[in-house]
A = this chain, B = another copy of it.
Amino acid sequence: MSKRINSKDVAREAGVSAATVSYVLNETKSVTISKETREKVLAAVQKLGYVPNQAAKTLGSSRIVGKSKSNLIGLVIPQTESGKELMFDNPFYGDFLSAVEYAARQEGFHLLVSGVNADQSYIDIAKNRSLDGIIILGMYPSEDNKEYKQIGIPTVLVDCYGTDHFFHSVRTDDRYGGYLATRHLIQHGHKRIAFVSGEVKESGVTDMRFLGYQDALREARIPYDPNLVFTGYVGYQYGIEAAAKIAQGNAGITAAFAAADIIAVGMIKGFRNLGLRVPEDISIIGFDDIYQAEICDPGLTTIRQNIKEKGNAVAKIIVSAAKNSTFPKTEIVIPLEIVERESVRNL
């Protein structure tokens, strides 16, 4: 195996010092390099096929405390005990990841993707890998973990509803989305509207959508009825179950807002199994606009978030903050829009 080519080799080839090579390649602002020298170096790099060693760069640049440049951004995703292997169970995590990765790469960053479970901290990953930034998906750093503010690297929380405003944050306006969805049903003449969701954790995404549901009811002066609320888990199967419960009950439900498309799709199937038709017998609106929403029959009316925009926003923040330590705390709320298909009709 041939020896790896390092900056010294390039320096020798170009007839300069290794420092000069570093200055040229990094376009170091504080130092001036003549055009000729720059070109000599670049030519040598080209000729030798030199690729810098990131480990050395990271280590070398870590002399100034907290200023290491690993050009690595971590994307960490919490994993529940139950579903350890299913990090990307949510299908649009894939889209999100694509968007973040692409945007980050354009700025010279690579993406380290890791699940994290309770016993290992993402802070350790950040330290260990000298991460330049970290993206935390759907998880709020626990308050009792004193370390959490000392990460010392740009951190952006995605889809988190913590009260603390220490970190950057990107999320959708889930509460408004819940409102939009419910209002849409109300505008179509519905008054007995079920709310179907996974577990409603305090300050979670579902909780926000639930609040939005209540907002819309309040606005329309429709009394909130807890009997119309069905909570289980985010999954196709639960949609089927919920449909059965709704069909069996006699609460006079004419429409349902499912806080996740996958539940909504299950409900359509569930109602069909029971001989009920959507939207003729019951209207359904979902949330997320996953791929299946378009494909299922009838097409699912739902609330769409622009996942690509979300990924771009996240990447932009993390990259900007990584490059510029004075980058101010930023909170971005991705707008939502209603996508009308066939699952809702006038009462």
Query: A29 near B: Cβ within 8 Å?
Result: no
Residue of A58, A98, A272, A297 most packed against chain B (CB within 10 A)? A98
Please determine whether A98 and B105 come into contact, CB atoms closer than 8 angstroms: no
Q: Which of A282-305 contact B (CB under 8 A)?
A: 291-292, 294-297
A114-B113 in contact (CB<8A): no
Given contacts A84-B102, A297-B296, contact A113 B129 (CB under 8 A): no
Cβ–Cβ contact B125 & A114, under 8 A? no
A87 close to chain B: CB less than 8 A: yes
Q: How many copies make up the complex?
A: 2
Contact residues, A127-167 vs B (CB, 8 A): 127-130, 150, 152
Complex interface residues of chain A between 31 and 53 (CB less than 8 A to chain B): 51-53
Within 8 A of B (CB), among A20-70: 51-56, 58-59, 62, 65-66, 68, 70
CA separation between A129 and B55, bound complex, in Å?
A: 7
Chain B residues lying within 8 Å of A196, measured Cβ to Cβ, are none
Contact A291 B294 (CB under 8 A): no
Q: Kindly identify which residue among B52, B55, B111 contacts A59, using a CB–CB cutoff of 8 Å.
A: B55
CB distance B297 to A297 under 8 Å?
yes
A127 in contact with B85 (CB, 8 Å): no
- A91 CA to B88 CA in the complex, in Å? 10
- Residue A209 CB within 8 A of the other chain: no
Chain A: number of interface residues, binned into ranges: 35 or more
Task: Please state if B53 and A130 are interface contacts (CB–CB under 8 Å).
Answer: yes
| A233 CB–B CB distance under 8 Å | no
Cross-chain contact of A112 among B55, B111, B152 (Cβ < 8 A): B111
How many Å from the CB of A270 to the closest CB on chain B? Answer: 12
Check if A125 sits within 8 Å of B110, measured CB to CB: yes
Contacts of A62 in B (CB 8 A): 4, 53, 55
**Please, which residues of chain B bring their CB within 8 A of the CB of A70?**
55
User: Given the complex of chains A and B, what is the CA–CA distance between A93 and B55 in angstroms?
Assistant: 29
Q: Which residues of B contact A65 (CB under 8 A)?
A: 1, 3-4
Question: Complex: how many Å from CA A99 to CA B53?
Answer: 29
Is A334 on the interface with B (CB-CB < 8 A)?
Answer: no
Q: How far is the CB of A237 from chain B (nearest CB, A)?
A: 10
Is A224 an interface residue when CB atoms closer than 8 A count as contact?
no
Given A51-B128, A236-B294, A296-B297, 17 other A-B residues pairs in contact with their CB atoms under 8 A: A1-B65, A3-B65, A53-B127, A53-B130, A55-B58, A72-B112, A85-B102, A86-B95, A88-B95, A94-B94, A97-B97, A97-B113, A101-B114, A101-B115, A110-B114, A112-B112, A297-B297
Question: 10 A-B Cβ contacts within 8 A?
Answer: A4-B127, A55-B55, A56-B59, A87-B101, A89-B98, A93-B94, A110-B125, A236-B294, A269-B295, A292-B295
Those 5 A-B pairs whose CB atoms lie nearest each other, nearest first: A88-B94, A55-B58, A94-B94, A87-B98, A51-B127
List A residues at the B interface (Cβ < 8 Å). Answer: 1-4, 51-56, 58-59, 62, 65-66, 68, 70, 72, 84-89, 91, 93-95, 97-99, 101-102, 105, 110-115, 124-125, 127-130, 150, 152, 236, 265-266, 269, 272, 291-292, 294-297, 308
